Chains A and B, each alone.
Chain A
């Protein structure tokens, strides 16, 4: 494990993985490896996911009926499980996203240097 590489990367915050999975599946059904790759790719490799930790999260989401699972054939002609966002999951994504926005906004406001005027 090269230290240079791991310096650039950031461990995922607890609970955010669920949100990222839901967001990724909004683009269409995908299998596990594709989801992991998509999260890394779309974050320019900044977010480091221990890829295996994806699976407990997927099962948790299935149990809550936010995603569903179906068998299928992947792009290179192999059997694979595809995960699909459900209607309930779509609604949950909206809730989770707005929650995240609030949290991120609040943290950003605290971290920013105090400025006398403007920036409502």
Chain B
């Protein structure tokens, strides 16, 4: 069906020119019969027929799909126009590339750090818990309090706690200083992270006098133990104590600053274990399904109030606080990053303004081109569309270059100085970033293209054709280009407020236009 239609369409459009010519000849003959001179008759016939190019366009449109054909036409025309002005094109593309590149780079950081969900199971159910007094709204949690919370609270599926600790690894291999954490039993399963080898810590290990056990990072596993399956049960000496390895974490596991060693917090300094005044640890918990943060917080408050009453000497004036875990992780940099994002947004706006003024300056010198195109039958919307296509072409080129620019600079920045940014590992130029770059490229193209396009449109009228006629023919550069209707032989005549092409071969003229 579609095939048949398109065949019919092709045949019909092929015959169009001939049909028009016959139509006009008939009308001319009629006019001669009415007593006009042949020349007059022919002229009147053309006038009565209307703008042939425009009618041909409308006839094409009757068959649909023309917008795609026109788009291809506009793109070809745009590429040619931009090629003809390499200086302008290069400056504009570079300006845009810098603006878009900066935005792409910062967006990829914002996306990776602030927007992307945390890489744990159901990350929006994870919360960070704090103790709070009149001086500080978010303090670490005392270990004894944590134990009471864990025992009494019903709003949480799991609650776990960790504390930073440094380790000196002395065996196997050469001595090395390692960052690590002491964690409570079930810390990893609370996050929904499975060790690739071995297991999480058990309750037996997570208490004073428990068997010394360690979970190691993927890096230590490979560097110190060759990445073999036999690592479980092997021993390593940390801070002078012999630990048995019970688990290996996935390579892509990250939780706050990277750690190589994890040991059970229950075996830490007994002073800490018993204390309600040393707020040395951080608590993370997973909400039960259906429990809101407010409900969980209210329950925690009640429990803490009771503790306050039970231990008046130590717990004076303590209450609690609760945040989404993501906030705990990125809160410090969120504001800065968004501000930075706003700043590069402004840079992009300035780039747009610059390119827009370049375009405006250019469009002033192209007034005649637009006048001719409109005289040849291009409608107002068509002209605007082709100008927009041109500016979007520019901005897409800028976007591609900007993306490459962002890719290189970001890679260099992240590799050279280990920027102290939480979740830096999750920054990458992924599909979202690509989509963002594409989106702002289009938006920017429309933004800086629309103003000149609209302004140009108002200057399109015949005046331009008349006034610039002399300068144009005397201009050497112009004269080299194929210029229709400029040699004053009545090829483009403004008549009755509307240009009418009254040449002997209007169709030939149309065909050589593009």
Contacts and interface: CB of A to CB of B under 8 A. Distances in A.
Given A1-B496, A62-B12, A63-B63, 19 more contacts: A50-B49, A50-B50, A51-B27, A52-B50, A53-B55, A55-B19, A55-B20, A55-B58, A56-B58, A56-B62, A59-B12, A59-B59, A62-B8, A63-B9, A69-B12, A78-B22, A79-B22, A81-B15, A81-B19
Nearest to A50: B50
Interface string A38-67: 000000000000111101110110110000
A67 B108 CA distance: 58
Given A63-B62, A78-B22, A52 B52 contact: yes
Interface of B: 5, 8-9, 12, 15-16, 19-20, 22-23, 26-27, 30, 47-52, 55, 58-59, 61-64, 496
* Pairs A-B, 9 closest by C-beta atoms: A52-B50, A56-B58, A52-B55, A59-B62, A50-B50, A60-B62, A33-B26, A52-B49, A56-B59
A56 B61 CA distance: 8
Contacts of B52: 52
A51 B23 contact: yes
A32 interface: yes
B259 to A, nearest CB: 70
A56 B5 contact: no
B15 to A, nearest CB: 6
Contacts of B64: 63
A52 B20 contact: yes
B51 to A, nearest CB: 7
A93 B50 CA distance: 27
A51 B19 contact: no
Interface residues of A, number: 22
A15 to B, nearest CB: 14
Query: Max chain A CB contacts within 10 Å: which of B5, B12, B52, B61?
Result: B12
B264 to A, nearest CB: 78
B49 A51 contact: yes
A33 B27 contact: yes
A51 B48 contact: yes
Nearest to A32: B23
B50 A51 contact: yes
8 contacts: A32-B22, A32-B23, A51-B23, A53-B50, A53-B58, A55-B58, A59-B62, A63-B9
A55 B51 CA distance: 12
B19 A32 contact: yes
A80 interface: yes
A69 B59 CA distance: 15
Contacts of B5: 63
B31 to A, nearest CB: 12
A60 B15 CA distance: 15
Query: Max chain A CB contacts within 10 Å: which of B15, B19, B52, B64?
Result: B19
